Every structure is written in structure tokens, then in C-alpha cells.
A = this chain, B = another copy of it.
Amino acid sequence: MVNDPFKALSHPIRRGIVERLAGGPASVGEVTRDFGVSKPAISKHLKVLEETGVITRVVEGRTHRIALKPEVLDEAAEWMERQRAIWERMFDVVDEYLKEKR
């Protein structure tokens, strides 16, 4: 299991899948067509994204409908924003420090 959104998004193909799904749900085969790798490779990437909670899967007969579930992305984005915000308050002090050393 993965369960780490940053790790899940650390591979360009997985980010590509997210972008693809932001345009609407798709089957595994449809997703595969957009990238230059085999279907098993995509299947593994989808598994990582699913375990992390970035996507959902509804099985319909023999096809799987994959859809984005962006709540986890939100959490990760909030983490980044939080770091930036804390830093922002610190900025003037450090800027002063760097100028002083120049």
C-alpha cells in the first residue's frame, strides 16, 4: 500500500492520468492509449492512485470506469500552501539577512 499523495504524484505518467481524468472518467484501455506504455504498466499506476485515494473505480461488466476523486489532492495542495504561508511571514527577516551578507 502507498497512501501518500506526494509519492502517488511523483511519477509523470500518474500525473498524466490525473490530468486525463480531470477531463472526465475513462476506461483502463482508454487511459492506456494516451501513454506509450503497456496496459499492465497502466494497471499498476492506477492501483497506486486508487490505494492513495486519488481515483475511484466502478466495475461495469468487463470494463472499469476510472474517475478522479480530488479530495486527496486538495490535502496535498493545502500542505504546500501552508509551508508557503509560514515562510511568507518569515520572508522579510531572511531577505534582510541575505542582503546584509551580500
Contact = CB atoms under 8 A, between A and B. Distances in A.
Q: What secondary structure prevails in chain A residues at the interface with B?
A: helix
Given A58-B101, A98-B58, A81 B87 contact: no
Given A25-B94, A90-B24, A83 B68 contact: yes
Given A24-B94, A90-B24, A94-B25, A83 B101 contact: no
A37 interface: no
A36 interface: no
Contacts of A68: 83, 87
Given A24-B90, A68-B83, A80-B80, 7 more contacts: A4-B12, A6-B9, A9-B80, A19-B83, A21-B87, A24-B93, A60-B101
